[in-house]
Structure 1
């Protein structure tokens, strides 16, 4: 797109950049007219839409080549590499019924099934066997492999049945003798072993049920002077209530997750991924997800999509969805040879999916096939965007429109308003799209929970998880909820569905608000405001951004030089007016006006941190940078900040040497471990000591340093020190958030893994109960679906407690 952007004349570039939303019909039509006479533009469009130039088309020759590479790896017993090559071969092999080489497809499936059998992936191997049989029911090798996998699962009766089918289909005498020998061996095993049944159900193909439909909580749209349109409850809402479930209007996987997660349900992809039958772009965790994303491929893909009979196959119903929702075959229009969907940014492809949904809905019901786009009734803030964003989005809109027109051919009409609507849709997505996240374990910490007394020699880890963005989606109703830096509802995802659950008691008539990202305790006030302004174009006026609170006072602050004074020292200037407001400015540029909370409701911590601000309300007060908010002592705040940054960097420096420590542990080079212990851990502890002299006891930097050192002690096997520093980190975070915040629960999981390593089962059980109560508040009955490790951890805690008793 840079080539097209640089080709736009300066005068037209200026008109687009300075134009408002009302000017879009004029500027987009001028831009389109310019591109229509530009050879470079037609070259770019051909590169994006011509199947002959596509990088994403199916290629049988490439599939055969990859299969051969997989065979070579399998012969060398390099099963991991073989699995990768066989999967890539399946990605490239045509599997459209009109073009499929049945023998090639079934052979690749069985080769991959054999590889997964070698790797111990039995359920995945069985699914590939079933896929090969579906393609070629008389393929003896598929039945043979299926029987052998079931033998590994000790499902002997079913294994014999499959092997007998293979025996009947085998045409070579050698093959028949091999199968007969396997049947005899299984019969011998069956005599002495009680058969263990196994289900042939493809669990990956089953959608996650939404257990517990929304309670009868009625929420309604409201409008307030500060926040405009939002949502409120008409009744009191108890904590942990499920208040909203919604499937997306459209969703798209992020490019960073294309090779690791299913492109439809967005769950982590298994080893036996399946692919789009028409192109090589997406991967799916199951046939079910593939069919829901692509639609019924039995119809001729080259047929006109203007016919209602063809379009009807693109609308899918599924029991997994939230109530009254419908699914649309969102990937169908993006493949079949063209690769524009693989090249354009994810949010632009998302806009294309919304437009395609609207186009096909119109065509299905015999309406005009003009591109108009749905009226989402969402804000777009077009006029507030930069000239660069305006130009880029108009270019992308033109490219996207022509890509859609190329797919739908003569059935698609467009007008000046079509382009304008598409540009605004792109900006609506910028402002209103929601990131779909998954919880990912960062250290394989589950092993710690199933081995009592893990030592350094066994590779101990501190169990931790983080949120990973995997997809982007538009939820029309979900977009109506306003943001708060201290939200009263928690948003999470089951497959594609957005779930909202209350995390506290919400009084009737009160706003129901979620977090768009930064929260109080996680990010300082000025950083939150900057982030929200840059991404969503509003200045937050929630309670945490309009009233002075403890976390913003202390999270970036320094400690008072006077012993026993808990007063905070900031790099900002605080000016308290006689009207009980505080103006906060940082470097003279950022100014925020905050109200002072009622002194009778201020907690002891906050009073000790900033006692000066709660003094005589009739007197104005100015607290300069470096001045204690309690006793008014001074420090050189610039020097303190520089020293603090240097010492924090020394703590983080430990991670550079983690690989060396792990290698030394694995090779039992105890002298090296001792050396690293002295040179790194002691240095980190010394830096922590200096940080404690500089930073406020409730600061975020101190919590992060304590957490880093806790994990360092876990790595070298000193679990007692790890416990001490992990608990210190949690105590600080409880001040910045609140004791029932979900961030505290995730930190408690780290502590549980340490307590289990120490054999302190009573403390581990009590800590787990506390973490589980918090997770239940945020996730309810979906807790173990979202946090996959939680069930294993619970069983480990119970097992340890039982053995201790």
Structure 2
């Protein structure tokens, strides 16, 4: 790639560097024409597309090797390894490859279906049988396997139909007799048991509330240029914008864990791309609009509906890429529910949630919303769709502004301005940076040398009395190292009594040195609370978690989403202790998350529903 960049003429580099948004179409065309005539670029494309050795190429021998590895793991009951081998083999296997006169891809799907059946993932097993049959409709073993799984699911009518097909496609007499025996057993069970329908768990986006987009208008302001404003009064938590991406790319770190189309977390039975080895999809519903047919015989059944094709003349002006994020729970694979005892919630240990970036996307209309360090709208994502919702009451004519990065409470004004200028090349003039905010003063401040004074001592300049104080505080770097050591211990889940004592001592020094609402104290309280959960000292963990929240409520709004994330942690600890206050924490959580996500809260933060089910059972 570096060689290709060096081969681009300086005149084109200069033209691109000096171009404006209006020149995007012409500069892109010139650059593309240049690349297409570069031998280095052509060689790179050839290498990537090589069906045998390329990065995107299929490899029958590699797929067969992984299949055998999966079979060996299956026989030794190492089911996790077997699943990984079969799934990797599906990525490498060419669609037309044969294995013992059977389609290799269909066989791999059938092997994975058998594994899912073995470990009790029945719905996943049915899906993989279906995929095998879509490739090889006369595959008797696939019909037989799906019939057995449908019988275990109670879908007797489907099971009978599957076994009838298996019998008709089975060539051996012994095989037909075995299927006949199974068929009679299922018919007998059908007579005595009512049929249970089990549907496939496909993606759903939930219901949408009324969109207020028609009540917005594009405006121009002297200090920020173009922007969006309200044409009428808009209540808090109203949906004001929804948009599909113009372009989207998954982050490299998420290629193995998230769907390459919707960016949701991949299920246990991901669907590989049929053309190359890189993309993975959560279902055929994502594979098809991503640009490829699932299998060759799909062409008559499915078109390319959902495709976002554009005319080549169309271009984007005045846009920035947005990070697509997901809210992740620390125990997302094992959330609490009504069948679990309260103290088992503590096994999740603080059950914290955080935002994790999974992709980058361009949303053409959403780029019209300006930045504010005190935003009145909030952006979130369902699948690849962007939603923007008001977080407070917005009056007529008021600009609708979201946060491009740090907000008031997260960084002080000086650091916010530097971040925004470095990343977006503008000097922020929002009301959050134009007025005095308490959080900008206390965020990184020190306390007064007089223990009875609640005054704020800023980092620079420092009074003569404070200079003397810092001369007698040589352990400051060591305390920072102790906090880093504690975070490392939390990640490794190897927390000793010495580590906790050192962390408690460091917190005491921070409290005696920094201002009571300094964010470093909140972070130290939070880390210590999480560490104490791991050693089951939940009472102490609860108090440190409350102390952290108290500081954050001063730095932010008490109903800010940051407080919601911390309340998830506090509520899980309180439930573990059978603390009645957990109900209040969870109710407060609901208020905060509904403010930011409206009726989508259960889809965005499913852990909240789990907490409610335990608290109110």
In structure 2, which of residues 366, 369, 373 is the aligned counterpart of residue 478 of structure 1?
366
- Give the SS at the match of 1:767: helix
- Give the SS at the match of 1:316: coil
Q: 1:754 aligns to what?
A: 573
In structure 2, which of residues 271, 275, 285 is the aligned counterpart of residue 278 of structure 1?
275
In structure 2, which of residues 306, 311, 321 is the aligned counterpart of residue 358 of structure 1?
311
In structure 1, which of residues 281, 284, 287 is the aligned counterpart of residue 284 of structure 2?
287
Following the alignment from structure 1 to structure 2, what is the Cα–Cα distance between the partners of residues 27 and 490? 34
Q: Per-residue displacement from partner, 1:449-488 (whole Å, max 9, x unpaired)?
A: 65334279x8451111111111111111100000111110
| 1:574-585 correspondence runs (5 A) | none
Q: 2:145 aligns to what?
A: 145
> What's the TM-score, normalizing by structure 2?
0.89
Q: 2:413 aligns to what?
A: 525
| 1:442-457 correspondence runs (5 A) | 442-444=330-332, 446-447=334-335, 451-454=340-343
Following the alignment from structure 1 to structure 2, what is the Cα–Cα distance between the partners of residues 692 and 230? 43
Post-superposition offset of 1:220:
0.6
Q: 1:683 aligns to what?
A: 502
Q: Does structure 2 retain, via aligned residues, the 8 Å contact 1:462–1:754?
A: yes
Alignment of 1:649 with 2:467, yes or no, is no
Q: 2:197 aligns to what?
A: 198
Computed over aligned residues only, the root mean square deviation of the Cα atoms, in angstroms, reads: 3.6
1:693–1:191 CA distance, 2 compared to 1 (3 A): farther
Following the alignment from structure 1 to structure 2, what is the Cα–Cα distance between the partners of residues 785 and 23? 40
Following the alignment from structure 1 to structure 2, what is the Cα–Cα distance between the partners of residues 190 and 70? 35
Q: 1:67 aligns to what?
A: 67
Following the alignment from structure 1 to structure 2, what is the Cα–Cα distance between the partners of residues 144 and 299? 23
Post-superposition offset of 1:147:
2.6
- Give the SS at the match of 1:498: strand
Structure whose alpha-carbon radius of gyration is higher: 1
1:764–1:315 CA distance, 2 compared to 1 (3 A): same
Following the alignment from structure 2 to structure 1, what is the Cα–Cα distance between the partners of residues 174 and 37? 69
Following the alignment from structure 1 to structure 2, what is the Cα–Cα distance between the partners of residues 46 and 189? 57
Post-superposition offset of 1:30:
10
Q: Does structure 2 retain, via aligned residues, the 8 Å contact 1:97–1:298?
A: no
| 1:597-612 correspondence runs (5 A) | none
1:177–1:739 CA distance, 2 compared to 1 (3 A): same
Following the alignment from structure 1 to structure 2, what is the Cα–Cα distance between the partners of residues 60 and 244? 47
Q: 2:329 aligns to what?
A: 441
Q: 2:317 aligns to what?
A: 377
Unaligned runs of 5+ in 1: 302-308, 318-326, 330-356, 360-372, 379-427, 573-624, 663-672, 800-805
Q: 2:606 aligns to what?
A: 788
| 1:532-547 correspondence runs (5 A) | 532-547=420-435
| 1:214-229 correspondence runs (5 A) | 214-215=211-212, 218-229=215-226
In structure 2, which of residues 554, 557, 561 is the aligned counterpart of residue 742 of structure 1?
561
Q: 1:347 aligns to what?
A: none
**Higher deviation after alignment, 523-532 or 733-742:** 523-532
1:562–1:189 CA distance, 2 compared to 1 (3 A): farther
Q: Does structure 1 retain, via aligned residues, the 8 Å contact 2:349–2:534?
A: yes
| 1:389-428 correspondence runs (5 A) | none
Q: Per-residue displacement from partner, 1:381-416 (whole Å, max 9, x unpaired)?
A: xxxxxxxxxxxxxxxxxxxxxxxxxxxxxxxxxxxx
- Give the SS at the match of 2:245: coil
1:446–1:61 CA distance, 2 compared to 1 (3 A): closer
Post-superposition offset of 1:35:
8.0
Following the alignment from structure 1 to structure 2, what is the Cα–Cα distance between the partners of residues 299 and 680? 59
Q: Per-residue displacement from partner, 1:241-296 (whole Å, max 9, x unpaired)?
A: 11111111121212111111111111111111112222222111111111111155
Q: 1:692 aligns to what?
A: 511
The aligned length equals: 613
Q: 1:764 aligns to what?
A: 582
- Give the SS at the match of 2:256: coil
| 1:5-84 correspondence runs (5 A) | 5-6=5-6, 40=40, 43-44=43-44, 46-48=46-48, 54-84=54-84
- Give the SS at the match of 2:351: coil
**Higher deviation after alignment, 639-648 or 123-132:** 639-648
Following the alignment from structure 2 to structure 1, what is the Cα–Cα distance between the partners of residues 7 and 235? 58
Post-superposition offset of 1:238:
0.5
Unaligned runs of 5+ in 2: none
Q: Does structure 1 retain, via aligned residues, the 8 Å contact 2:327–2:354?
A: yes
Q: 1:568 aligns to what?
A: 456
**Higher deviation after alignment, 643-652 or 123-132:** 643-652
In structure 1, which of residues 487, 490, 510 is the aligned counterpart of residue 375 of structure 2?
487
Following the alignment from structure 2 to structure 1, what is the Cα–Cα distance between the partners of residues 15 and 469? 46
- Give the SS at the match of 1:791: helix
- Give the SS at the match of 2:311: helix
Post-superposition offset of 1:781:
0.6
Following the alignment from structure 2 to structure 1, what is the Cα–Cα distance between the partners of residues 25 and 284? 43
> What's the TM-score, normalizing by structure 1?
0.69
Following the alignment from structure 1 to structure 2, what is the Cα–Cα distance between the partners of residues 567 and 226? 35
Q: 2:237 aligns to what?
A: 240
In structure 1, which of residues 709, 729, 748 is the aligned counterpart of residue 528 of structure 2?
709
Q: Does structure 1 retain, via aligned residues, the 8 Å contact 2:236–2:391?
A: yes
Q: Per-residue displacement from partner, 1:528-563 (whole Å, max 9, x unpaired)?
A: 222212221111111111112011111111111112
1:90–1:502 CA distance, 2 compared to 1 (3 A): same
Q: Does structure 2 retain, via aligned residues, the 8 Å contact 1:295–1:314?
A: no
Alignment of 1:464 with 2:464, yes or no, is no
1:49–1:139 CA distance, 2 compared to 1 (3 A): closer
Q: 1:252 aligns to what?
A: 249
1:176–1:15 CA distance, 2 compared to 1 (3 A): closer
Following the alignment from structure 2 to structure 1, what is the Cα–Cα distance between the partners of residues 354 and 272? 28
Alignment of 1:626 with 2:453, yes or no, is no
Q: Does structure 2 retain, via aligned residues, the 8 Å contact 1:241–1:501?
A: yes
Following the alignment from structure 1 to structure 2, what is the Cα–Cα distance between the partners of residues 781 and 29? 43
Q: Does structure 1 retain, via aligned residues, the 8 Å contact 2:155–2:195?
A: yes
Q: Per-residue displacement from partner, 1:309-338 (whole Å, max 9, x unpaired)?
A: 99xx98524xxxxxxxxx326xxxxxxxxx
